[in-house]
Amino acid sequence: MKQRIGHITIVVEDYDKAIEFYTKKLHFTLVEDSILSETKRWVLVAPMGSSDCCLLLAKAANDEQHTRIGNQTGGRVFLFLYTDNFKRDYQNLQDQGITIVSGPVIETWGTVAVFEDLYGNLWDLIEPSAELKKT
């Protein structure tokens, strides 16, 4: 048996602003943007070079969903973005004016910094150590 995670939903305020953030600031690829109804779209984005798991950008449709925007995990880091070049991607975060919450920190397992997306969800930017990259 084989399983995999296909999509992870991020509740957003506005489709177009979310697409702009992920594609222009984080340089993700827009995988799909399909209109499902007058108020609903199927929007998938993925990190460059990634094909396994996409983020599904889902516009909040009611008051309950609006309360989750930017805090889907109760203040914990929500997503982990692995990179092959921490220095390049950390510099991009700075250049794009993205809020860096902490770091960078060099750990035995790699280099990490915590940043916020446009709504305040916390992300780890991680470049694994050379030893971990081999496994």
pLDDT bucket at 128, cuts 50 / 70 / 90: very high
127, 81: one domain: yes
In which domain, by residue range, is 16 found?
A: 1-69
User: 69, 95, 117: which is the final residue of a domain?
Assistant: 69
Last residue of one domain, picked from the residues 41, 69, 97: 69
| Whether residue 131 has pLDDT greater than 70 | no
Q: What CA–CA distances, in Å, run from 18 to 37, 56, 57, 117?
A: 18, 11, 7, 9
Over the stretch 85-116, which tens digit does the pLDDT of each residue have?
A: 999 999 999 999 999 999 899 999 999 999 99
3-state SS assignment for residue 31: strand
Q: Which helix (H) or strand (E) holds 7?
A: strand 7-12
Last residue of a domain, one of 69, 93, 125: 69
The CATH number that applies at residue 38 is 3.10.180.10
Whether residues 54 and 87 fall in one domain: no
Name the domain count of the chain.
2
At 134 the pLDDT is 52
Same domain, 12 and 44: yes
pLDDT at 51 over 80: no
Over residues 1-45, the pLDDT tens digits come to: 888 889 999 999 999 999 999 999 999 999 999 999 999 999 999
Is residue 118 within 8 A of residue 111, CB to CB? The reply is no
Residues 48 and 9 in one domain: yes
Q: What pTM value is reported for the model? A: 0.89
